[in-house]
Amino acid sequence: MKKLTLALMFLVGITTAKAQDTYAIKYDFFTPVAGCFGFSLEKARTNFTSLDFDAGLIGLKLGDYYEYDKFAGGYVAFGPRLYFVKDPAEINNFKGTYFKPQLLANYFKYQQEYTYYEDITYAPLIGNIEGTDFSLSLLLCLGNQWILSDLVVFDLWFGLGYGVSWETETIDFPEVYYYSSGSSYKYSHVHFGDSPLIFDGGLSIGIKF
């Protein structure tokens, strides 16, 4: 993962060539369903490269289908965007298929009620769990972006990569009643079970300026 991170930093350096500033700001349309609220900023650098910056707030709860009763946090990400086709102009027009390596940092706190049963009477008892989750990930993303009337931006993409997480938990009831296998859902992305493999994807809508 260290070699991939160094390669990403090298690609960021490639995209720092001087060019006229052109931007696109986008809203990640499906993030509220995932429990967060995400935006991204794309800045053109050359006729086939851009820099992407993503940020989001974790804690938006639209229903009772989330794993935790309460959760709050945020995420940030950045990476160079490399379009497959070079634009004939000095800078790219934000159109077409692209490849984007991305570094992602994610942190949130959570609270949850936990039901367990007394040994003798089997009476249900309620305990409380509080925890934190911090993760770092490297994603390799593939996507396609369309521009309508040189203004409205539609960006469809998905990514696979590797990630690591550090989790802490505290409980207010006897540990013998509690079993935790960790969470694969990170709001900004998803782990495949206990493996380091992660997945993310989305549809972003915004404007070019």
pLDDT of the residue at 177: 87
pTM of the entire structure?
A: 0.84
- The count of C-alpha atoms lying within 13 angstroms of the C-alpha of 26, restricted to the half-sphere facing its C-beta, is 28
Q: pLDDT tens digits for 125-144?
A: 999 999 999 999 999 999 99
Check whether 3 has a pLDDT greater than 80: no
Task: Name the pLDDT band for 166 (thresholds 50, 70, 90).
Answer: very high
Whole-angstrom distance, CA of residue 16 vs CA of residue 42: 13
Question: Coil, strand or helix: which one is 122?
Answer: coil
CATH number of the domain within which 151 lies: 2.40.160
Enumerate the H helices of the chain as residue ranges. Answer: 2-14, 31-34
In angstroms, what CA-CA distances link 27 with 10, 47, 80?
A: 28, 24, 18
Domain hosting 182: range is: 2-208
Q: What is the mean pLDDT of the chain?
A: 89
pLDDT of the residue at 190: 93
Whole-angstrom distance, CA of residue 196 vs CA of residue 174: 30
The torsion angles phi and psi of 68, rounded to 5 degrees, stand at: -110, 150
Cβ(83)–Cβ(157) below 8 Å: no
What's the number of domains the chain is made of?
Answer: 1
Q: Residues of the chain with pLDDT > 70: what percent? A: 89
Q: pLDDT tens digits for 84-120?
A: 999 998 889 999 999 999 999 999 999 999 999 988 8
pLDDT of the residue at 28: 97
Read off the amino acid at residue 80. P
Q: pLDDT tens digits for 30-63?
A: 999 999 999 999 999 999 999 999 999 999 988 8
Where are any strands of DSSP class E within the chain? 23-28, 36-44, 49-58, 70-83, 96-117, 124-148, 152-171, 190-191, 197-208
